[in-house]
Amino acid sequence: MLQAPSHKSAKVVRLTPLLSTSGISKNYDGVHALQDANFHIAPGEIVAIMGDNGAGKSTFVKILSGAHPASAGSVEVDGLVTSFKSPNDARRAGIETVYQDLSLAEDLDVLSNLFLGREEFHVRFGGLSILNRRKMAARAADLLGEIGVNVPGVHDLVSGLSGGQRQGVAIARAAGWGSRLIIMDEPTAALGLQETAHVHDIIRGLRDRGVAVLLVSHNMKQVLELSDRVYVFRRGRIVCNLTTNKTGADEIIGFITGARD
C-alpha cells in the first residue's frame, strides 16, 4: 500500500496528515458561521467541501488561508499547532489559495501576476530592488508548462486572457512555489465545459505531484469525479466526512439538505 501510486489507494496511508484542524469555530458578531470543525487532509489527497449557501465553507477556507483568524480551535500543520495571522503566514507553511474572484491584477501581464509579492531581483535594495524580469520570464514559462496552462505568452496582459486561461494563471501562481496544500474556492464556476476539463487535468496533475488539494465546489459531478473524500458543511457544522468511492450523489445530497444526519 505504501508505494501504491494509484491515488485512491495511496490515501489509505494516513501517516501524519499535512494539515488538520480541531474544534475550529468562527463567530461574526454573534453569528455562528462555523462551529467545532474537525478536518484533515494528507499529501496527494483531493478533498472536497460541499454544502448549501451560507453553510460556512468560505469561512472555513479563509481561516485555513490566513485571511481570517478563528474564534476558537486550532490548526496543525505537520502535527504542529500553528496560527496564521495573515495569508503570508499560511503561504510560508506551504498553503496557497486560489480565491473565487481569482485575485489577479488584470492590467499587469501574466509574468507580473505569477511573481507578485515574490519577485526575483538583480540587486536587492528594499523598494529600489532591481527586478530580474528575464529570470522571472524563464521561470514563469517553465512553471506554466509544468502545470499545463496554455497562455499565448507570459508578457500578455491578464485582461486579454479567456476565463480558463485566467483560472490557469491563478492556479499556476498558487502551485508554483513548492506549495503543499492548494485551496480552491469554486475553481470552475465561471468556466465552460472544455475549460473545466482542463482545470480538472491541472488538479489531477497537482495531486500526482503529491500536492494536497482542497476543493470547495457546488458541482456534484466534479466532486465525484475528482475527490478522494468529501466533507459536507451544514449550518456552520461539518456533518460528515465521506470517502468518495464509497458514497454517491444521493447520500451527499441527503447530508447537504439535512435529510440525513
Partner 1 sequence: MNVVANGALARARGANRRGSTSAVALEGADIPVAILGFLKPKTPAMAVQRAMLLLLVVAVIGLAIANPVFRSPANLLNIIQQASMVGVIACGMQLMIISGGFDLSVGATAAAAGCLAAYVSLQMGVPVGIVAGLVLGVAIGSVNGSIISKIGVNPFVATFGTQAVITGVMFAMTNARPIAPLPEAWRELGFYNIGGLTTSSMVFLATIFAMYLLLRFTLFGQHIYAVGSNKIASRRSGVRVDPVIIAVYAVGGLTAAIAGILLTSIAGIGSPQAGTTWALLSIAAVVIGGTPLSGGAGGISSAVIGIFALTVLNNAMTLYSISAFWQPAFMGAAVLIAVGYEASRRRRKA
Q: Contact at 8 Å (CB) between 178 and 146?
A: no
CB of 154 to ligand ATP, least distance (A): 32
Q: Does 257 bind ligand ATP (CB under 6 A)?
A: no
CB of 34 to partner 1, least distance (A): 21
Q: Does 33 bind ligand ATP (CB under 6 A)?
A: yes
Stretch that binds ligand ATP, among 48-56, 112-120, 125-133, 170-178 (CB under 6 A): 48-56
β-strand 80-82 against 72-77: which pairing, if any? antiparallel
Q: Does 259 bind partner 1 (CB under 8 A)?
A: no
CB of 59 to ligand ATP, least distance (A): 3
Q: Contact at 8 Å (CB) between 244 and 230?
A: yes
Torsion of CA 84, 70, 68, 88, to 10 degrees: 0
- Grid-cell match 467541501, residue found: 49
Q: Does 53 bind ligand ATP (CB under 6 A)?
A: yes
β-strand 229-234 against 46-51: which pairing, if any? parallel
CB of 29 to ligand ATP, least distance (A): 6
Q: Does 227 bind Mg ion (CB under 5 A)?
A: no
Q: Does 59 bind ligand ATP (CB under 6 A)?
A: yes
- Residue 33 interacts with, from partner 1, ligand ATP, Mg ion, none (CB under 5-8 Å by kind): ligand ATP
Q: Does 58 bind Mg ion (CB under 5 A)?
A: yes
Of the candidates 68, 80, 48, the one whose C-alpha atom is nearest the C-alpha of residue 212 is 48
- Residue 56 interacts with, from ligand ATP, Mg ion, partner 1, none (CB under 5-8 Å by kind): ligand ATP
- Residue 9 interacts with, from ligand ATP, partner 1, Mg ion, none (CB under 5-8 Å by kind): none
User: Using CB under 6 A, which of 21, 25, 58, 97 touches ligand ATP?
Assistant: 58
What is the contact mask toward partner 1 in residues 116 to 155, using x (rule: CB under 8 A)?
A: xxxx-x----xxxxxx-xx--x---x--xx----xxxxxx
Of the candidates 72, 63, 65, 206, the one whose C-alpha atom is nearest the C-alpha of residue 147 is 206
